[in-house]
Amino acid sequence: MAAPVLRRAFTVFHYVLGLGIAFLAARTAIDGVTGAHSLPPLLVIGAGIEALGAVLFMFPRTLRVGGTIMLLTMTTVLILDSLSRHWRIDLLIYLAGTYYVMVHGAAWGARSSAPSGEA
C-alpha cells in the first residue's frame, strides 16, 4: 500500500535534489563567467562540471555517472573549505542525498517499480 506513496516521495526527492544542485552550480558558473562575482577560475570550472553531473544525475541511464561527478566535486569543495575552516553543512546534506539516490536507483525508467531492496 505504501509503495506508490514512497516511490512518489523518492521521485520528488530525486528531482528536487538534481534540479537544485544543477541550478546552484550553474548559477555559480555563470556568475563567474559573466563577472557578476569575482570567483577563482578553478571554482567556475568545478561548478560547471558539477552542474553537468547534476543534469546527468536526473536520467536513469546516466544517474551513476552524474552522481559520481557530483560526489567528487562536492567532496573536493567540502575538503578545501574545511581546510580553511569554512564548514559547509549544506554540502554534507547534498552528499548524503546524492548517495541515497544512487544506492536506490533512478526515480523513473526501467528500474522504477521499487527502490533496491524493496519488493
The predicted-structure confidence for 18-62, as pLDDT tens digits, reads as follows 999 999 999 999 988 887 777 788 888 999 999 999 999 999 899
**Residue 113 located in a structural domain:** no
| 93 touches 84 (CB < 8 A) | no
Domain range enclosing 55: 7-104
**Residue 112 located in a structural domain:** no
**pLDDT of 108:** 59
| 11 touches 107 (CB < 8 A) | yes
Assign 109 a pLDDT band (cuts: 50, 70, 90): low
**Residue 75 located in a structural domain:** yes
Mean pLDDT score of the chain: 86
SS3 content of the chain, % helix, strand, coil (to 5): 75, 0, 25
User: Number of folded domains in the chain?
Assistant: 1
**Residue 11 located in a structural domain:** yes
Q: What is the pTM of this model?
A: 0.81
**Residue 117 located in a structural domain:** no
